[in-house]
Structure 1
Amino acid sequence: MITAAGPSAVAASAARSAPVTHWGGRVLAMLLILALLSGGYWLMWRGWKNRAARQAGLPVPSSVPPDGDELGEPVEGVYASTTKHGDWLDRIAVHGLGVRGSAWVRVGRSGVLFEREAAPDVFVPAEDVQAVQTAPGIAGKVTGGEGLVVLTWRLGGHVLDTGFQPRAKADRARLIDGVDALLTERTNG
């Protein structure tokens, strides 16, 4: 006599899965992927070190304003990076100028101060400030539209662009007006 299998017999047979095969192939594929990722990270690190070596002649920027200078109210935002003027993808790798992070910008009669959390502060003396404008992006930060304030300045014999994105839209105009006033005072005074 043929009997039908009960529900417990069907459930017991479904609970077993097929054995995993090709362990060697799976381990080899995982090791290959890890090697490719490690190689990619090593090449990026090596490229950054080579860039820093090429830019070693760039002088260290000042990090403090002169004593007695009254700096304006700070504008909070994101310090994007510093690049060579006119080449928004050529990030400066030395002296922490290429490090992105939270920052505050203050404009005074003596210049512009970037107070940064993750890297050394950068002070740009008034005589080195060349221009200020808005831009859609710079190395490390693309906002679209005109969300970035770009300060063009001299460091030694080099002309650089520093990108900063204020947190509040109203602060963008206030920052540009402050730097424009600094430029006007320098040319008229």
Structure 2
Amino acid sequence: MTSPLILLAEAPQSAPVTDWAARLGWVAGLLVFVAFVYWLMRQGWKWRGTLQGDLPELPSTPDDPGEPRLRLSGRYHGSTTAGQWLDRIVARGLGIRSRVELTLTDQGLDVVRPGAADFFVPAAQLREARLDKGIAGKVLTEGGLLVVTWAHGDKLIDSGFRSDRAADHTAWADALNQLIHTTEGAR
């Protein structure tokens, strides 16, 4: 009779071998799937821009915008249809997130975005400024976002900004609302 130790030594088994062809097939399939999902998202973005094609050109900064009341450096988080914080507007470059330099003057709000289209919101088209917690794809703590509502063509638009210094938001909302009420009184 043979001992079990001898049987183990007599029947060595090799370690399982990786099936590289199957593994590479799965990786290639996953990459194709990810590329397809990205392509679908890009097509959806383009389609949304086509649907919003009736949005007029964004106003540019006047030659003499006036004396600055306030300045802000921070981030532009996008624009939505007013009151509908998930309905992102992508036409005319309004859907592109970027750094931003805001300047408030008596004539309006100058929005300078490196790498994206700059625009100017005349004081007569400003409607409201408030502190909020979110706008299309960006949710922050309560009051972490300065949302400016403005009229453009026949649409009311909410644009979201976040200052590098969050303490600036309240002063900006107050100054914008004061300018709006002053402008409304002059109409």
For structure 2, list consecutive stretches of 5 or more residues without a partner in the other structure.
Answer: 1-13
Query: AA paired with 2:95?
Result: G
* Partner of residue 166, structure 1: 163
Whether 1:177 and 2:177 are equivalent positions in the alignment is no
Whether 1:156 and 2:153 are equivalent positions in the alignment is yes
Question: What is the CA–CA distance in structure 2 between the aligned matches of 1:21 and 1:106, rounded to whole Å?
Answer: 61
Change (3 A) 1:122 1:68: closer
* Partner of residue 135, structure 1: 132
Percent pairwise identity: 36
* Partner of residue 114, structure 1: 111
Query: AA paired with 1:159?
Result: L
Give the TM-score, by structure 1 length.
Answer: 0.86
Query: 1:1-189 to 2 correspondence within 5 Å?
Result: 18=15, 20-67=17-64, 69-189=66-186
Give 1:114 shift: 1.1
Q: CA RMSD in A?
A: 1.6
Give 1:106 shift: 1.1
Query: AA paired with 1:109?
Result: D
Structure 1: which 4+ aligned runs deviate by more than 3 Å?
17-20
Range that drifts further, 60-69 or 167-176:
60-69
Query: AA paired with 1:48?
Result: W
Change (3 A) 1:68 1:24: closer
Give 1:30 shift: 0.8
Residue pair 2:131, 2:170 contacting (<8 A) in 1 also:
no
Question: What is the CA–CA distance in structure 1 between the aligned matches of 2:105 and 2:63, rounded to whole Å?
Answer: 10
Query: AA paired with 1:185?
Result: T
How many equivalent pairs are there? 173
